[in-house]
Amino acid sequence: MIKNLLRGFGALSLAFVPLLAPVPAQAAHTAPGSRAAEVTTLADAIGLVQVDTEDRTGYVRTAFRHWNSGALADGCNTRNEVLLAEAIVAPTAAAGCKLSGGTWLSYYDGQEVTDPGALDIDHMVPLAEAWDSGASAWTPARREAYANDQGAAASLVAVTARTNRQKSDQDPAEWLPPSPDAQCRYTGEWVATKLRWQLTADVNEHEALQVFAEGPCEDTVVTYTPAP
């Protein structure tokens, strides 16, 4: 799988400049009063992620309650609050927070989307992967906080349903965004989310991330804030 990653790097443009902070500029779903952000290189950030085996024993998606009532007292659930925050053209919110109109850019595949129903809200680190990596030991309340995390813009991202379902519960050793220009940002946000929630990585995942850090994404800077 790591060899496949290396072959995939050939599609990356040499002129690509990684984002200095791997968060979408338009994403405003960051909770007030959050802790100070940690900023480091991708290579150093990967070094902070503990390597451990993964175990999916007992996993059910319903262990992570979502979508809840959201971070704001606006009558919208978490899904719609993320859509409102990430829209590049704001939608109209009718009674019951029913959204219409608006435009979004799905950064995984570079597609512009005008129908909110065509978008999924992706958990940057999928729920099953989070379970494998430490969330199985959390309380139900902490798993709910993870599944609805608007305290960091990278945690939840509006993308085309197609790419979200292609990704499924795979880690970066197994799946990358189809847009080459998205891959360094994606890697940085994946690592940032693992660090935010103190999740581990298995050996293959960790090695794949190191390939990014030592190759085309060596200039990527990771910004993360530890979860409460």
Confidence of residue 34 (pLDDT cuts 50, 70, 90): low
Cβ neighbours around 69 below 10 Å, total: 13
The three-state secondary structure class of 10 is helix
Judge contact between 115 and 155, C-beta under 8 A. no
Per the prediction, the chain carries an average pLDDT of 89
Determine the average pLDDT of the residues in 17-41: 54
> What is the DSSP code string of 67-127?
S-S-SSSSS--HHHHHHHHH-SBPPEEEGGGEEES-BEEETTTTEEE--GGGEEEEESS-H
pLDDT above 70: residue 14: no
The Cα–Cα gap between 134 and 169 comes to 15
- The pTM (predicted TM-score) of the whole model is 0.86
pLDDT for 141-200, tens place per residue? Answer: 999 999 999 999 999 999 999 999 999 999 999 999 999 999 999 999 999 999 999 999
pLDDT at 19: 36
138 secondary structure, DSSP code: S
Cβ neighbours around 92 below 10 Å, total: 9
**Of 206, 160, 202, whose CA–CA distance to 187 is shortest?**
206
Burial class (CB in 10 A: 0-12, 13-18, 19+), 181: middle
Q: Is 156 left (phi over 0), alpha (psi -120 to 50) or beta?
A: beta
Judge contact between 196 and 226, C-beta under 8 A. yes
Determine the average pLDDT of the residues in 22-42: 61
pLDDT for 99-153, tens place per residue? Answer: 999 999 999 999 999 999 999 999 999 999 999 999 999 999 999 999 999 999 9
What residues does each domain of the chain span? Answer: 2-224
> What is the DSSP code string of 206-219?
HHHHHHHHHTTTTT
End-to-end, the C-alpha distance of the chain in Å comes to 35
Q: Is 216 left (phi over 0), alpha (psi -120 to 50) or beta?
A: alpha
**Of 24, 146, 126, 36, whose CA–CA distance to 85 is shortest?**
24
